[in-house]
Structure 1
Amino acid sequence: MTDRLPPAPAQAPSLAQLRALIAVVDAGGFGEAAAELGVSQSSLSEAVARLEALAGRPLLRRTPAGTFATEAGLRTLGHARAAVQAAADALLAAQEEGALAGTLRVASFRSTATHLLPPALAAFRARHPGVTVILLDAESCGGGPEAVRAGRVDAGLIVADEAPDLRLTPLVQDDYLFAAPSARGTHPVTLADLAAQPLILPPLRDSCHRRVRGYLTARGVPLTHIMEVEQDSVTLSMVGHGLGVTIMPRLALLPLPPGLVVLPLPEPLTRPLALAVLPQRAALPLLRAFTGAVLETLGKMGTPNGTGEVQEPAAPLLRTTSN
């Protein structure tokens, strides 16, 4: 036994200091972060300096190309995001589901934001008028899975098999279809058809491009005539003018312009869509209520059957032609 007291624990960083680190890394610079937070650059620099003093090492590296996290900063960043998120979630966890309030940030593909989410958002707002929902384009916020992991959004509509580490609620299986000018006719699509004309796809960074590329590569289809186009509407216009063909998810083809025919691929290709949240946040009343609203709405549309598989809707969103 000893009368000596254990050493005092090291001083813990403040949430303001952790927020400062996160803001500078996400913005890529002190000036940009200060503008986004609405604070002075000097106060932001002071907060980061105090955090670095507590850590005993630099957490940020300034370069002509911007400000980046050091290796120690990267290790700190994940815990900083979790701490800041947990502090906010402490109050969200205390809410009652019948009186929710706050802000809900949702990332989505443009196609799912157009055709799946609006009725769910309307139902959610009717039940929870105190919640403000901000809908963000998944590509513009760094990709749905990454935005959820980093805490930039609360929930994201994503391709399920791209983020097994997140808590996933299966929604629909969105099948990919072949689109070509109507003059092509409706005879079944072959692998030779997929190699015969220029193939118009979104940029390589897009998950749909990578999914289609993997499908074709696995089947020995040469990828020598691929054109990359950012906007789905531009792609469909180009296809309509005979500049190539495309392979797109069913939802992304809506509304289908005149002069096009859509057909099943020789072998099925799908993207399993799911609603993703951080596992430790899934039980929050706000996220439970939103997930429930999405599932209930899709069920009324005749889309999911509760296991993530697709049932044929009473009025299909887009009919395909096959022989």
Structure 2
Amino acid sequence: MAPSKPPSTHAQPTLAQLRALIAVVDAGGFGEAAAELNVSQSSLSEAVGKLEDLTDRPLLRRSARGTVPTPAGLRAVTHARAAVQAAGDVLLAAQDDGELSGVLRVSSFRSAATHLLPPVLVAFRRQHPAVTVRLLDGDRAGTGEHLVRSGQADLALIEGDSAADLRLTPLLLDDYLFIAPQSRGTQPVTVQELADSPLLLSPRGDACFQRIETYLGRLGIETSGATTFEQDSVTLGMVRHGLGITLMPRLALLPVPDGLVTLPLPEPLTRPLVVAALPWRAGLPLIRAFTAALVESLGAVPADQLTNPRSHVWH
């Protein structure tokens, strides 16, 4: 078989061709991508075909899972995302701070989206009515970081104090609490009680479970026998009826159902909440303004509402 000829050094892909490739990869098919972009499937196929002509190799292939990128397509789509993003950033960089417009994509896990983002969104919309903020699901561990790195999100609210290649802006420390039926009382929690109690925890794949597993491991407590639930409300209902205890971040508990007691853990456990962006995009006026709005909003929240380790009984 004759070797593939190198791509032309003169012809360059267009942004339309790159967007077509990205759309098909994200949608998993030409029909779905065409509907998403509101273009004909034939024009989308033509754009991808011209891009494949430039690279002189297939970038997509049909499979049982739909249309998927080839190894060359996987490498190409990474740079396609960066190129399309950079082209859009030219316009974002030229905006004045007081006249922002466009679409801002923010990834967030559920408890932050529920309790932290609403007041920020209200204030930000009032100040910048021409900006549309789209929220993306970032519940699974590592999802937010991936969305930012791949160019599918502009910002991500994530847990942790380190993420390679990302600019992190600290927001707050959210402490984990011990939750039990109200009948338990408010006496201090011991390591032995944690070891002896049935554990009801979040799904094993999420960041919360991983953090709790590491914490309990340091105390010599196994989580292999823990029962897991997708919904926090189900977990708390089980705890309320005496079927076990759980550990949750304070934000994830709000609003707390009746009949539960929350107490500090024997040794503190916190999760740092930060907002992440690509370093070379963090200074764009739109991204910088929303990050500042987050920091300003959380600075107005009394610290003891989020980090006070006092016990609470909820009636």
TM-score by length of 2: 0.90
Structure 1 residues 108 and 178: CA distance shift in structure 2, 3 A: same
Alpha-carbon separation, structure 1, partners of 2:307 and 2:132? 29
Alpha-carbon separation, structure 2, partners of 1:45 and 1:205? 37
Letter in 2 for 1:321: S
The alpha-carbon deviation at position 162 of structure 1 amounts to 5.7
1:178, 1:262 within 8 Å by CA — same for their partners in 2?
yes
Match for residue 65 of structure 2?
65
Alpha-carbon separation, structure 2, partners of 1:38 and 1:141? 32
The alpha-carbon deviation at position 67 of structure 1 amounts to 2.2
Alpha-carbon separation, structure 2, partners of 1:247 and 1:234? 14
SS of 1:92's equivalent?
helix
Gaps of 5+ in 1: 1-7, 303-311
Alpha-carbon separation, structure 2, partners of 1:158 and 1:233? 22
Match for residue 85 of structure 1?
85
Alpha-carbon separation, structure 2, partners of 1:297 and 1:107? 18
TM-score by length of 1: 0.88
Alpha-carbon separation, structure 2, partners of 1:14 and 1:57? 17
Structure 1 residues 161 and 66: CA distance shift in structure 2, 3 A: farther
Letter in 2 for 1:100: L
1:268 aligns with 2:258: no
Alpha-carbon separation, structure 1, partners of 2:171 and 2:284? 20
Alpha-carbon separation, structure 1, partners of 2:51 and 2:232? 45
1:52 aligns with 2:52: yes
Structure 1 residues 298 and 152: CA distance shift in structure 2, 3 A: same
Q: How many residue pairs were aligned? A: 305
Alpha-carbon separation, structure 1, partners of 2:52 and 2:142? 27
1:259 aligns with 2:248: no
1:254, 1:318 within 8 Å by CA — same for their partners in 2?
no
Deviations 1:74-118 (A, max 9, x none): 211211100000111111111100111111121112211222222
Match for residue 190 of structure 2?
190
1:320 aligns with 2:310: yes
1:157 aligns with 2:157: yes
The alpha-carbon deviation at position 218 of structure 1 amounts to 2.9
Alpha-carbon separation, structure 2, partners of 1:202 and 1:179? 13
Alpha-carbon separation, structure 2, partners of 1:320 and 1:238? 23
Match for residue 5 of structure 2?
none
Letter in 2 for 1:51: L
Alpha-carbon separation, structure 2, partners of 1:253 and 1:83? 41
The alpha-carbon deviation at position 29 of structure 1 amounts to 2.0
Match for residue 11 of structure 1?
11
Letter in 1 for 2:280: Q
Alpha-carbon separation, structure 2, partners of 1:33 and 1:97? 34
Q: Percent identity?
A: 62
Deviations 1:140-173 (A, max 9, x none): 8982111111222211111134623211111011
Alpha-carbon separation, structure 2, partners of 1:135 and 1:92? 19
The alpha-carbon deviation at position 250 of structure 1 amounts to 0.8
1:113-132 correspondence runs (5 A) = 113-132=113-132
2:108, 2:138 within 8 Å by CA — same for their partners in 1?
yes
The alpha-carbon deviation at position 41 of structure 1 amounts to 2.1
Gaps of 5+ in 2: 1-7
Alpha-carbon separation, structure 1, partners of 2:146 and 2:159? 12
Letter in 1 for 2:236: L
SS of 2:51's equivalent?
helix
1:160, 1:168 within 8 Å by CA — same for their partners in 2?
no
Match for residue 291 of structure 1?
291
The alpha-carbon deviation at position 317 of structure 1 amounts to 7.7
